[in-house]
Every structure is written in structure tokens, then in C-alpha cells.
């Protein structure tokens, strides 16, 4: 399964979490190498988002371990995850609607002046720089993000994830709310970040999205891992079979959830 010899940037081993007796994630193992895009596929409710929320520190797993660069990582909160260079673009974007773009990008990591006050000027200036790269037409720096369009809000969420030199980027349904042109923009960005050596978990239920961008796919069903495969070793139909039937094709490494 390994495509090269570099140590995994992130490895999640035998992760399990249950909510009220229902095992949302059950013994799942996935890994990610530098400069690699791993598509995480599955139906709604398959446990993709839950798995990824464990990596981003929003949930604590009941069992299992996380390794970052081969070393055991204790991720108890979103702050911990960020310390390991793990940034997340949530499906809901997780923006504070009443605050402007700069406030959101730096939320929880504000730049302070030497007096300990918010350095809004520096934050706005940095925001202008990062937004110029992501969305050159963006002008509404002073407005609460509530006033922005879906695509603009998306770029704010992306800017927040990439500004702090992420090494691992988790994108949860990044194109769900976007039009074709904006979807293409996100795809270009993924390729660019990949070139910079960032590892990306791409979560989607749209298999076409994932096949164009990912190096590998991991498929989940009912909280369990059906299997993982290089995209070159399997066909889209085979992956569809994994998602719907939990059937692992010969080109893939089966997981505990394979039938």
C-alpha cells in the first residue's frame, strides 16, 4: 500500500468512538504522507466527519492512537491539533458570522501589540495578503462574514487553515456549497498545497471530486474501514462498490469493515 518510504505525517491507529452506545467510528486506521492527498469516502453517517473531528481535536476517541511524524500525539483539544500543524476546514466552515474576515482568520491566535491589545492593523494587513492569494477579488475586509457570499466565506475558512503553515490539512466537504468555478479554484488550491508538501485529508461523498485529486482513497461504512487503495489500482465503479456494498476489490487493502 505504501507509495514511498517517507514516514507517515499522520497515522491514526484503531480509532474508536461511541455516542450513546452507537459506535460512530469502530477500529479505523488511516495514514497520510507529506504531499499526499487521501480521499476519505463514505455515505452520510459513515463516520468520516467524526473520525476527522477526532484528528482535529473536537472529539476525544474512546480507543486508539494518533501518531504525528511517527511520534505518539496527545490531541485533547483543537488547540493541541493546531500545535501539531493540523488545520481543519469544517463542512460548516465554523466561522463566527458576526466578526470580520481578519477576526475569523486569527480567531484563537490573535496577533497582539506589545501592550497586549489586539493588533488589528497587522491582522488586517496579513488578511489582505493571504486573501489576495486565495481570492483576488475579495474586498470586504471590514464586514462581518455573514455579509459574504458562500465562496467568499469558503475562502476565509481556507485562509484560516493555510495561514498558519499547516502541515496537515483536513477538508470536510470543501466544495459542497460551491459553484463550478469556485470548485475548480479549490481543486487548484489542493494541487498547489500538495506541491508544497502539505498532507491533505479530503472528505467527500462525491467520488468524482476525489478521484481527480486524491492519491489514495479510504472508504468507510457504518463506522468501519472497508479498505484503502491507490486511485490508480481501482476503478471508480469498484470504489462505488466499496462505499455502497462494503465490497473490497482486489486492488485495495481490505479493512475490518469489508464484507
Partner 1 sequence: MTTPATTTVPPRSPATEGSLLSKLEIDVRMLGMLGALAVIWIGFDILSGGLFLTPRNLWNLSVQTASIAVMSTGMVLIIVTRNIDLSVGAILGLVGMIVGVVQVQWLPGWLGFEHWLTAPLAVLLAVIIGGAIGLFQGWLIAYLGIPSFIVTLGGLLVWRGAAWWVTAGQTIAPMDTRFKALGGGVEGALGATATWIIACIASGLIVVALGFARRQRIRFGFPVRPVWADGVIAVLACGAVLGAAAIVNSYPLPVGIARSWAEANGIAWPEGGLFIPHGVALPVLIAVVVGLVMTFLAKRLRFGRYVFAIGGNPEAAELSGINTRWTLMKVFGLMGLLCGISACISTARLNAATNAAGTLDELYVIASAVIGGTSLAGGIGTIAGAMLGALVMQSLQSGMVLLGVDTPLQNIVVGAVLVLAVWVDGLYRRRIK
User: What is the 8-class DSSP label of residue 138?
Assistant: -
Shortest distance (Å) from residue 98 CB to partner 1: 4
Q: How far is the CB of 68 from partner 1 (least distance, A)?
A: 17
**C-beta closer to partner 1: residue 56 or 185:** 56
Kindly tell me which of 33 and 160 has the beta carbon lying closer to partner 1.
160
Separation between Cα atoms, residue 185 and residue 189, nearest integer Å: 6
| Residue 54 CB partners (closer than 8 Å, separation 6+) | 12, 15, 17, 25, 60, 61, 66, 75
Write 56-59 long-range contacts (CB < 8 A, 24+).
56/81, 56/86, 56/88, 56/170, 57/81, 57/82, 57/86, 59/17
Contact 103, 96 (CB under 8 A): yes
- Rounded least distance, CB 230 to partner 1, Å: 32
Q: How far apart are CA 114 and CA 64, in angstroms?
A: 42
Whole-angstrom distance, CA of residue 208 vs CA of residue 191 = 16
Q: How many CB atoms lie within 10 A of CB 77?
A: 12
Residue number, 18 or 118, with CB nearest to partner 1: 118
Smallest distance, Å, CB 169 to partner 1? Answer: 15
Q: Which is nearer to partner 1, 27 or 78 (CB)?
A: 78
What is the nearest approach in angstroms of partner 1 to the Cβ of residue 165? 16
Residue numbers at the binding site for partner 1 (CB under 8 A): 56-58, 77-79, 82, 88, 90, 92-99, 103, 107-110, 112, 116-118, 121-122, 124-125, 142-144, 147
CB-nearer residue toward partner 1: 176 or 187: 176
Amino acid at each position: 500500500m505504501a507509495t514511498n518510504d517517507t514516514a507517515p505525517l499522520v497515522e491514526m491507529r484503531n480509532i474508536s468512538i461511541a455516542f450513546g452506545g452507537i459506535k460512530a467510528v469502530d477500529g479505523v486506521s488511516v495514514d497520510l504522507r507529506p504531499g499526499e492527498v487521501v480521499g476519505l469516502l463514505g455515505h452520510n453517517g459513515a463516520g468520516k466527519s467524526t473520525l476527522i473531528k477526532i484528528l482535529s481535536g473536537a472529539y476525544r476517541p474512546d480507543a486508539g492512537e494518533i501518531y504525528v511524524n511517527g511520534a505518539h500525539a496527545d490531541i485533547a483539544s483543537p488547540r493541541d491539533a493546531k500545535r501539531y500543524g493540523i488545520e481543519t476546514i469544517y463542512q460548516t466552515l465554523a466561522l463566527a458570522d458576526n466578526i470580520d474576515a481578519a477576526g475569523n482568520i486569527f480567531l484563537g491566535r490573535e496577533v497582539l501589540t506589545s501592550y497586549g491589545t489586539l493588533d488589528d492593523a497587522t491582522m488586517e494587513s496579513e488578511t489582505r495578503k493571504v486573501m489576495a492569494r486565495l481570492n483576488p477579488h475579495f474586498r470586504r475586509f471590514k464586514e462581518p462574514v455573514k455579509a459574504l457570499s458562500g465562496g467568499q466565506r469558503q475562502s476565509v475558512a481556507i485562509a484560516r487553515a493555510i495561514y498558519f503553515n499547516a502541515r496537515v490539512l483536513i477538508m470536510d466537504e470543501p466544495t459542497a456549497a460551491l459553484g463550478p468555478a469556485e470548485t475548480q479554484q479549490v481543486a487548484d488550491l489542493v494541487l498547489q498545497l500538495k506541491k508544497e508538501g502539505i498532507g491533505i485529508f479530503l472528505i467527500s461523498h462525491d467520488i468524482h471530486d476525489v478521484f481527480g485529486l486524491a492519491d489514495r482513497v479510504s472508504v468507510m461504512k457504518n463506522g468501519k474501514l472497508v479498505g484503502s487503495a491507490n486511485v490508480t489500482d481501482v476503478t471508480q465503479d469498484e470504489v462505488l462498490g466499496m462505499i455502497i456494498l462494503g465490497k473490497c476489490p482486489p486492488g485495495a487493502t481490505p479493512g475490518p469493515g469489508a464484507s
